[in-house]
Structure formats: C-alpha cells, structure tokens
Amino acid sequence: MILNTELEYKGNLFPSKIISYQKNLDTLSFTTDNNVVLQITVQRDSILRFRYTTTGIFEKDFSYAITKYASKGYNFLEVTEDAEKYIITTSKIICHVAKLGMRTSLFDAKDNVLICEDELGFHWEESYELGGDIVKMSKSAQEGESYYGLGDKPVDNNLKGKRFENWVTDSYAYGKNTDPIYKAIPFYTGLHHKKSYGIFFDNTFRTFFDFCNERRNITSFWAQGGEMNYYFIYGPKMSDVVAYYTDLTGKPHELPALWTLGYHQCKWSYYPESKVKEITSKFRELQIPCDAIYLDIDYMDGFRCFTWSKEYFPNPKRMVKELADDGFKTIVIIDPGIKIDREYSVFQEGMEKDYFCKRANGPYMKGKVWPGECYFPDFTNPEVREWWSNLFKELVEDIGVKGVWNDMNEPAVMDVPGKSFPDDVRHDYDGNQCSHQKAHNIYGMQMARATYQGLKKFAYPKRPFVITRAAYSGTQRYTSSWTGDNVASWEHLTIANLQAQRMCLSGFSFIGSDIGGFAEQPNGELYARWIQLGIFHPFCRTHSSGDHGDQEPWAFGSNITSIVKKFIELRYQLLPYLYTAFWRYAMEGVPILKSLVLYDQSDAHTHYRNDEFIFGEKILACPITEPNAKGRRMYFPFGDWYNYWDDELIEGGQELWVDADLDSMPIFVAAGAIIPKYPIQQYVGEKNIDELVLDVYFKLGEETSQVFEDAQDGYDYIKGRYSLRNLKLLGKETSLIIQQFKSGKYTTSYETLKIKFHGLPFKINKIQIDNEVVLFKDAKFSGENTIVISKEFTELHITA
C-alpha cells in the first residue's frame, strides 16, 4: 500500500459567505458557510470588540489585560441589513460587515466619514508545527494616516513605515530601533483627517504589527497562535482613545504615595550597610532631596530571594528603621528565579506545593540566573500568586521595606538561545492550561501582580509600591515601570524621552528611565541633561550598573552637582502639580505625559514631533539631547506660552530657537495656567506644608486648573478625605478674576495661599476677595505681584 505522507499546505484561508446572523443582547454573531464565526460585542458606544473563530466554537473567554472594572453599556444599538452587508449602528460608530468575505468598515456615526476598513480583513493559516492557527488581519491605510503607541519601542513617535514584534525580551544595552525589548503592549492609535481611533489586539502570543512597511498603504497585525480578538476604540480625539483604552485595561488601583514621586537613587549594588549609609548621608549633607534608596541583588544571601546577607546587612530591620528616620524609604529587588537549594525555605515550600513551572514532558523548568540554577514559580496559577504574596510578610511588615522592584521577569534566563523559557514550558493560566508561547508575554505581569498583592496586604494602611521591568497591557493596574538596561549615551537620552511618551500614549504613565544610563558611564554634562529630562518623568530614578564608575548627583564635580540639585529641587516644588496629574490619570485615564500629537492632533506639525511634550496639563518641556548645546530649536503648540525662567511670552504654532545653557532647560507654562508648588523638602513629609504657592500665568480669556491633595499616603482619599480645588481664571485687559470651587473632606495643613502673578499686563490697584476690598497690607501684597490670602476664598478679583 502506498500512502501520500505529505501534508497539504493550504496557505492563507479566508471567511466565505455569511449564512446566518444572531443577536444576543450586546453580542452579534455572524457565521459563514466555511464555519468561521465573527462575534461583535458592543462594549460601549465607542468600543466594539471583534472576535473570530475558524472552527465554529470559541474557546473560554479569558484575558489578563481586560479589567473587571472596565466601563460597559451603550445608549443606542441598531442592526439592519441590505443585499451586500449588515449595518451595526451605535451613537458613535457605524460598522458594516460584508456578507461575502466578512470584511468590516467603520464610520463616524455623526458624519458618516470612513475611519477604518479591512483590506484582506481576517484570514488565517493552519500551523501544523505549533498547532492552531496563525491569525492575521490587514486594513487599508487612509490618506495621510499616522500611527502611534505600541508601548516600549525605542523609535520615533510616529510608527508609519515601520514593523514591530511583541515578545517580552531581556535586551541589555539595546539601541535605537532595537525590537523587541522588555514590554508587549499590542495597542496602537491611528490618526487621519483629524480623527483618531485605537486598536487593541488582545493576544498574548508572539504578535507582529506592520504599519505600511511591507505594503505601502496597508497596515496589518498577526499572531503565531490564539484568537483574532481585537477592540476597536473610537475617539475621535486621541486623548479619548487613550483614556478609553486605559479604562478597558485598567487604571492604577490606587494613587501612588506622594514619596514615590520624589527622587530615587539606585545602583547595582549599594553594599555593605556602611556604603548605603555613606550614600544617604551625603544626600542630606549636600541637601539634595531624595526619598528612596535601592538595594540590588547583593543584599541577599547568595542571591536567594527573601533573604539577607548576614555579612553585608547583619541587622536589616535596624538599618531600614535608621534610614526611615532620615527620610529614606528602602526598596529591594526580587527576581523570579528561586535557587535550587534543599536548605532554602522558599525552594522547599515551592517544591512541596508543586508551584514551579514544568516542561511539557514533566521535569521542572530549570534555568541559570544570578543564584545559579533556579526553578521558576508559575505566576499564572492563582494559588502560586497567593503563596508569593505571603512571602513578603517579613520584608514588608517585619523589616519595614517600603517597595519592591521586580527584575528579570521577562522571564530572563542566562546562556540559552532566546534568553528565556523554551516554548514547551507549561502554565496554569488561571485554569486555562497552555504552553509558554501563550504565557510568555504575561509572565512578568503576573509576577508583578502577585508582588503587588503582597505589598498591598503587608504595607497596609499605607499604599503599595511596586516596579516591574516586564509588562503586558493592563500591568499599569498594579505597578510602575522603567525602560530597562539602557546605555549612558546621548542617543539613549533621546530614546528615554521617546519611550516615556510612548508608554504614556499606551495607557502606562508611571514610567521612567535609568537616569544617566545603566550601562557605561555618562560624563557630567550628559548626566545633568538626563536629570533635567528625568524630573519630568512620573518615575524619577538614577540607576547604574556600577561597573563603570559612580553615578550619584555629586559624582561629576561641584558645578554639575549644583545643576542637578537645582532640578531635583524643582521636581519637589512641582509635586502637588504632578500628584494632581496622577489623580487625573487614576480617575480618568488621562496620560501624565502627552506627546504633542496627543495634545493637539488637529495641528499637522505635531504629527512627527518627538522631543517636546506636555507634562501634566499645562507645562511644555523639551530636553537638550546633544552635547555642548547652548539651546535648541523646538516647536510650540498653538496657544501662548510663558518661559518658566523669565516669563517671556511666546506665541505658539511656530518653531523657534530657545536658549538653554547647561544649567537650564526649555520649560514653558501655558497662559492661563495655575501651577501649585510646595516648599523644597529633603524628602516628602520632612516639612509641614504651611503655605501652598500658586503660580498664576495671565491670559486674556478663560482657563481652568486643578489642585488635588490628600494625606499623601493611605486610603482615606477613597472615602472622600481629599481636597480638590477647581480654579477658574478669567483674564481681561484691566482685571483678573480667579474663582475657587472646592470639594472633598480633607483639611490641608496650611491656612493660606501665596499667589504669584506672572505676565500681568497692568499694575494692581485694587484687590477684592469674596466681594470685599482688601488692603494691600492685609493681603501681604509685595511689589513682585505676590499676595497671600486665605485658602478658603471663593473669588479673587484684582483690577488695574
């Protein structure tokens, strides 16, 4: 008997003709005669979910990315059909589904303008080698379309013409355009004709995105397994697209404690205890503000997680207490690799409870990391996450550690191809057993989640602080992050700026870079310029490998030290402004940093800008990213902008040269802004805030600002114990009115506001507070256009 043993290679397969349609509340199902089913779920009026199966049956619906707190519901839904298509209409979107081929087109429901349309649309290729399907989607690019997002990619903001891979990878000393690196965030935003939409491809396998690279006017995304499962999110404002995506995948579960927004110092490694104390003492001696000191892997006993080196740190509880008394919070590193050691309690417990990852044919997944040969907990198992969270009791509750830093959680494995687990490693995946192909991109996320749960439990009643290197969409619910092992180079200063902006565009705002570069050694000029950028990143930390020299603020001579001190002090003054931006991010999903295109998508000049960004709502910043520079050209968005240093007023909508010697940086404030400031402190909580400064920047017209304050830590703000000042400014040629609308039950420690006026076009002749004329001496009016008034005012009126 002769058998044909060759497999039939089918190539790309496509949906055929739709033969049936069903509606079940918010979910519409379309089935073709070749057994493809498209399920469209109306998540919100502006969000549709597209889910395809090629077998007629959907697998269990499960996602680590989508939060259970995501907003749901719609105001209008209508389904009609004609000879060629089904028409789904919500109050924001019209979706056409072609009866032949199942291709979809999406339109703005208000003006019927085409927003996004399938080209080949959904198609697939059977994968004999891996099992299942390689799932693919291609869409036609619209005229002039640009693309943004995708998380941690070290490339220019506009992604058009580029191709990317999402596979969480340990990328030591990566460079510009290195891909992939540490994070997988399969979400992008498209923009054309002043309208913006987003696509979130919720697939944890190795995914790829092509933005008109392979074919000029086609954008596509595909995955090496899993489902074609994506969310279409319509703005049309890009800021709304990002906010809706952040709502879908989760806003931070709580505000960060205010101290976590201070300056942090880190190195691989500060040890022994005497070295740690030497560093912290120097900060206080030089009066350079700092809130946190980090301990890298050398604090452990032989790199065993949850242990301390008796040689280097004989009494960690005493040391942590003494550091806390001096205002320093201690942060320690914890990696996923657990050393194979029968005498080591964490290893023993993991073995007894069978909590470590296994290969497909039974043995444990063994890999070499810092401790030597290790096993790795399966963080996709909820029982393992609970066990892991309880391991933090001693570190956090007993010793007093205030934060934990998860590293190497891609997961990184040394000396093996691919630098990670083999594909055949098995995972529980919360009861949806799978291989590492599916679990790889979420492994670090689930480690960070388990760590977060531990800190939330044992740091209570204070808020948890966790940092992770690896991440997938939704990780922002639990943790902050940094951009991994960068390099001390001018190119990497540029990359750090791009990565932070892109992460914020991708729903993950609590982000920063290793200031000064992790690998190699910066000179003083590069370090100073990096600090200037770093103080505007939500997470602000110097970190270095230590192999190449010292990287503390005083390591580069007294001139650089004074510049660094000046900018770290500025960070501390702006803490109430940054905290307010964080509150908006946590409440509404508004990114803390805004690329210029996010700030004003209607201005075509912003679509390819990389360097300038908006910090919070009202501050425009632009780093100097070249050596020996005395300034730079930068673009000013439409509107009027005050130079932070000298109050010079610049009209926006143009590119200009800005002077910025080494001790300066281009920083501008939007006209009409009211910027809250605290006094300079050596650490958060050092001083009782006895007066809040409000820098008021004059504008002809109206502008609103906010100041959010609470106890700076703890959970009372959730119960309404916060103070929210809504400040409305109305500027005229001979007068200025500021109205305050206050809410919340928190009583601030200060009683007065010091209001500093910038750019007033008139000399103050009369001050009225709540309709009563106030004498200059009673308002402590000074010739510098500064007055002091009660924090409880409702209307301040100054006239010429």
In terms of Cβ atoms closer than 10 Å to its own Cβ (0-12, 13-18, 19+), residue 717 is: buried
DSSP string, 418-439: GGS--TT-EE-TTT--EEHHHH
Closest among 669, 678, 677, 692 to 759, alpha carbons compared: 669
Contact 204, 438 (CB under 8 A): yes
Contact 24, 65 (CB under 8 A): no
Specify the pTM: 0.97
Active site residue 646: no
Euclidean distance between CA atoms 591 and 599, whole angstroms: 10
Query: 131 — phi, psi (to 5°)?
Result: 85, 150
Point out the residues of the chain with pLDDT beneath 50.
none
DSSP annotation of 699 reads -
Of 145, 428, 485, 617, the catalytic one is: 485
| DSSP SS3 for 787 | strand
Tokens of 139: 């869409």
Determine what percent of the chain falls in helix, strand and coil, rounding each to the nearest 5. 20, 35, 45
Q: How many CA atoms lie within 13 A of 676 on its CB side?
A: 26
What count of residues does the chain have?
Answer: 800
Confidence (pLDDT) at 759 = 97
In terms of Cβ atoms closer than 10 Å to its own Cβ (0-12, 13-18, 19+), residue 715 is: middle
For the chain, the straight-line distance linking the first and the last C-alpha, in angstroms and rounded, comes to 105
Active site residue 485: yes
Buried b (16+ CB within 10 A) or exposed e, 738-760: bebeeebebebebeebbbbbbbb
Confidence (pLDDT) at 168 = 98
Confidence (pLDDT) at 549 = 86
Euclidean distance between CA atoms 261 and 291, whole angstroms: 9
Active site residue 410: yes
Task: List Cβ neighbours of 249 (8 Å cut-off, separation of 6 or more).
Answer: 65, 66, 67, 70, 187, 200, 473, 474, 476, 477, 507
Tell me the pairing of strands 372-375 and 338-339: antiparallel
Contact 85, 98 (CB under 8 A): yes
Confidence (pLDDT) at 5 = 58
CA distance readout (Å), 457 to 202, 381, 391: 30, 19, 11
CA distance readout (Å), 209 to 28, 169, 198, 411, 751: 27, 17, 14, 23, 54
Of 335, 378, 410, 600, the catalytic one is: 410
| DSSP SS3 for 652 | coil
Of 407, 514, 611, 713, the catalytic one is: 407
Confidence (pLDDT) at 10 = 80
Euclidean distance between CA atoms 554 and 542, whole angstroms: 12
Q: Which residue has the tokens 């979130």?
A: 200
Closest among 464, 418, 436 to 379, alpha carbons compared: 436
